[in-house]
Amino acid sequence: MFLEYDAAVFSRMLTGLTLGFHIIFATIGVGVPLMIAFAEWMGLRKHDEHYRLLARRWARGFVVTVAVGVVTGTSIGLQLNLLWPNFMQLAGQTISLPLFMEVFAFFFEAIFLGIYLYTWDRFKNRTRHFLLMIPIVIGASFSAFFITSVNSFMNAPRGFELTNGVITNIHPLAAMFNPAAPTKTAHVLVTCYLTSAFVLGMIGAVKMLKGDRHVYHKKALQLTMTAAFVFSIGTVGIGDLSGKYLAEYQPEKLAAAEWHFKTQTEAPLVVGGVLKEGNNVQYALEVPYALSILAHGTPSAEVTGLEEFAQEDRPPLIVHYFFDSMVAIGMYLVFIPLLYLVFRWKKPGWLHHKVLLWGIAAGGPLSILATELGWVYAEVGRQPWILHDIMRTPEGATTSEHVDAMLYLFIGLYAVLGISSAVVLRKMFKNNPVAHELESRGIDRRGGSS
């Protein structure tokens, strides 16, 4: 509207919009099946119908989010071709294998999800129904793995040679298992699990804050917070390894995130702050040696600074804030489940204290926010490249003159889908509250709280 038309800029905005909307549903789509599997498994092992109902209700809500995840996933899949035809022409030659396999993994998941949803009471042996969840978890996690390996290829392109615009010597597996793949895929997977645990934990916490003290919700909290603790520790560990990956393969991305300008040993970690003229950092908290440790594991290590790179090859410096906010939320997501477990161990009386419940409830939206921030950092931090050191972003974009109109069209679409799915989910659970379902299924007699 007020911008001068530039197809590449609008293509970036539209891709960012679609991905930003899609990853909310994709994250839930990858993580929630695992949580459902945990709940159903607990129900079987402990012969506890509460856990089984938990799995059942989660699955019911999950279906709605999956639907939006599927259609927005189709949307991004097509948009990659429509908005980045030149990039996809090159990508088709080099990285189409995991893209192709992602569809298989998702197909596998979709088939079993269809079966799972409609067979709750169909098998005499209940373990069989639980077993259906395993291919769903595998399919969901593998599709995340494959698609993230494509993204990691954009960060660390391998498995081909480019001479005078001709691609030769192609190795599809080397492209897929590029140096960025291990840390990136692990990071995406574990944070999907973490976010899902928090989103589901949030539901229980909100119910309890509203005064529903049913043991059903307490069991939900215990399950989700225990899982969240494990995943949050995993997130921290993988985050550390990601730092080491960046230091070695994309030092400018790390340096931009840390506002680290001069190459130096014993580098401190810059937290927060404001950038003044001449790359002077002010009001920041500096943690001595921390960047050297993050980058190379030892306090004395030398960390490459941003000044080693030509101006036109540097990522925008704003990514510092995205990175810091993501890490701060990550810390919060370690702290809350840790607090929960400590209370359970030492101070059971405080376990369902209002403050902790609020803390868990806030973890839901915060974890999604961290996912968004992480994606923005990952994508903006890779700029100016769409394919690191090989293709600059504008070179990959379409030349079409109508990307702006499409951007507005999709803003409208996602607004409508977002609102509709929220309304549908709300109605679904409002019209069939837990207490009612516990009773109608004969799990509880009246007043089952403890």
Within residues 292-321, the interface with another protein by CB under 8 A covers none
107 lies in the binding site for another protein (CB under 8 A):
yes
- Cα–Cα distance for residue pair 449/440, rounded to 1 Å: 16
For the CB of residue 167, give the shortest distance to another protein in the complex, in Å. 7
Nearest to 303 by CA among 292, 294, 313, 293: 292
Nearer to another protein, 308 or 395 (CB): 395
For the CB of residue 116, give the shortest distance to another protein in the complex, in Å. 10
For the CB of residue 385, give the shortest distance to another protein in the complex, in Å. 19
196 in Cβ contact with 34 (< 8 Å): yes
Q: Give the residue, chosen from 13, 406, 411, 435, that forms a contact with another protein under the rule CB under 8 A.
A: 406
Interface with another protein: number of residues (CB under 8 A):
73
For the CB of residue 401, give the shortest distance to another protein in the complex, in Å. 8
Residue range at the interface with another protein (CB under 8 A); choices 115-123, 180-188, 301-309, 366-374: 115-123
Nearest to 146 by CA among 88, 100, 87: 100
193 in Cβ contact with 145 (< 8 Å): no
- Cα–Cα distance for residue pair 295/243, rounded to 1 Å: 5
How far, CA to CA in Å, does 65 sit from each of 23, 118, 191, 370? 11, 17, 18, 19
Nearer to another protein, 90 or 223 (CB): 90
398 lies in the binding site for another protein (CB under 8 A):
yes
Which tokens in the block code for residue 20?
């930003």
96 lies in the binding site for another protein (CB under 8 A):
yes
Half-sphere exposure of 270 (CA within 13 A, CB side): 24
For the CB of residue 112, give the shortest distance to another protein in the complex, in Å. 7
Nearer to another protein, 113 or 208 (CB): 113
Helix (H, G, I), strand (E, B) or coil at 222: helix
For the CB of residue 262, give the shortest distance to another protein in the complex, in Å. 42
Binding to another protein in span 25-84, by CB under 8 A: 60, 63-64, 66-68, 70-75, 77-79, 81-84
408 lies in the binding site for another protein (CB under 8 A):
no
Contacts of 430 (CB under 8 A, 6+ apart): none
Binding to another protein in span 164-223, by CB under 8 A: 167, 170-173
The strand pair at 280-282 and 274-276 is best described as antiparallel
338 lies in the binding site for another protein (CB under 8 A):
no
CA triplet 369, 55, 106: central angle to 5 degrees? 65
Residue 4, number of CB atoms within 10 A of its CB: 5
For the CB of residue 223, give the shortest distance to another protein in the complex, in Å. 23
86 lies in the binding site for another protein (CB under 8 A):
yes
410 lies in the binding site for another protein (CB under 8 A):
yes
10 lies in the binding site for another protein (CB under 8 A):
no
Helix (H, G, I), strand (E, B) or coil at 166: strand
Backbone angles phi, psi at 176, to 5 degrees: -70, -45
101 lies in the binding site for another protein (CB under 8 A):
yes
Helix (H, G, I), strand (E, B) or coil at 165: coil
Binding to another protein in span 143-172, by CB under 8 A: 167, 170-172
